[in-house]
Chains A and B, each alone.
Chain A
Amino acid sequence: MASSHAPTTTEYIQHHLQNLVVGFHPENGFGIAHGAKEAAEMGFWALHLDSMFWSIALGALFIWIFKSAAEKATSGVPGGLQNFVEMIVEFVDGNVRETFHAKSEVVAPLALTIFVWVFLMNLMDLIPVDLIPRMTEAVGIPYMKVVPSTDVNITLGLSLSVFALMIYYSFKVKGAGGFFKELAFQPFNSPNIFVQLIFVPINLLLEGVALLAKPISLALRLFGNMYAGELIFILIALLPFYAQWLLSVPWAIFHILVITLQAFIFMMLTIVYMSMAHESH
Chain B
Amino acid sequence: MNLNLTLLGQAISFAIFVIFCMKYVWPPIMGALRERQAKIAESLAAAEQGAQRREEAEAEIATMLQDAKAQAAEIVAAAQKRANEMVEDSKSTARTEGERLLAAAQSEIEQEVIGARESLRKQVGSIAIDGARKILGSEVSADAHSKVIDDLVGQI
Interface residue ranges, A against B (CB under 8 Å)? 19, 21, 23, 39-40, 42-48, 51-52, 55-56, 59, 62-63, 66-67, 69-71, 73-76, 78, 82, 85-86, 89-90, 93, 105-106, 108-110, 112-113, 117, 148, 151-154, 156-158, 160-161
Contacts and interface: CB of A to CB of B under 8 A. Distances in A.
Nearest to A39: B2
**Across chains A and B, which 3 residue pairs bring their CB atoms closest together, nearest first?**
A157-B10, A75-B35, A153-B6
A89 B33 contact: yes
20 contacts: A23-B5, A44-B4, A46-B5, A48-B6, A52-B13, A59-B14, A66-B29, A70-B25, A73-B31, A75-B35, A76-B36, A89-B26, A89-B29, A89-B33, A93-B30, A109-B22, A112-B26, A152-B1, A156-B10, A157-B10
Interface of B: 1-11, 13-15, 17-18, 20-22, 24-26, 28-33, 35-36, 38-39
A157 B2 contact: no
B39 A63 contact: no
B79 to A, nearest CB: 60
A174 B4 CA distance: 33
A24 to B, nearest CB: 11
Nearest to B37: A75
A155 to B, nearest CB: 8
Given A62-B17, A110-B18, A117-B17, A43 B4 contact: yes
Contacts of A46: 2, 4-5
B119 to A, nearest CB: 118
Given A55-B13, A108-B26, A109-B26, A47 B4 contact: yes
Given A42-B4, A47-B4, A67 B24 contact: yes
A116 to B, nearest CB: 9
A191 B41 CA distance: 54
A134 B89 CA distance: 118
B35 to A, nearest CB: 4
A90 to B, nearest CB: 7
Contact of A157 (B14, B25, B28, B36): B14
Contacts of A82: 32
A105 B26 CA distance: 10
B116 to A, nearest CB: 113
B1 to A, nearest CB: 6
A13 to B, nearest CB: 14
Contacts of B24: 67, 70
